[in-house]
Amino acid sequence: MRIAFCVQNDKGVDSTIDSRFGRSPGFLVYDTDDESTTYFTNAQNLSAPQGAGIQSAQTIAAQNVQAVVAHNCGPKAYQVLLQAGIEVYMSQDTIVKEAVQKFKNGELEKAASSNVPGHW
């Protein structure tokens, strides 16, 4: 299973999770099968005049992931992820490996909707 995280930097499982979804500097995809990580930059979205969340969701959807772990997710990004069939999990952890552990233990709650309004 491939899980995407919104991250501030690329330090593998020690990467810092960013609290923003649309404008996090990058995404880290963690593969539970071989415990590998892959980093994708989100630089093209940082200066987007609007709709950063929509484009981030599209970028993530293109990486063949099955789940996203984020601090927050807005309504438009959530809608795109939903159509892509990607499950959204909310976590307030700051390091990827902490969230991965909780995910594996089944401690993370699946979001049934966005948790913040647009332009949060």
Residues contributing to the site for other proteins (CB under 8 A): 48-52, 54-55, 57-58, 61, 76, 79-80, 83-85
- Smallest separation, CB 36 to other proteins (Å): 24
Give the integer Cα–Cα distance in Å for 6 and 20: 7
Across-strand partners of 87? 67
Cα separations in angstroms, 110 against 68, 97, 102, 119: 10, 18, 12, 22
Q: Looking at beta carbons only, is 85 or 106 nearer to other proteins? A: 85
* Closer Cβ to other proteins, 48 or 95, answer by number: 48
The nearest distance, CB 50 to other proteins, in angstroms, is 6
Comparison of 17 and 68: residue with beta carbon closer to other proteins: 68
- Whole-number minimum distance, CB 41 to other proteins, in Å? 17
AA identity, residue 3? I
Nearest-approach distance from CB 48 to other proteins, in angstroms: 6
Cα end-to-end span (Å), the chain: 29
Task: Determine the Cα–Cα distance for residues 105 and 6; give it in Å rounded to an integer.
Answer: 20
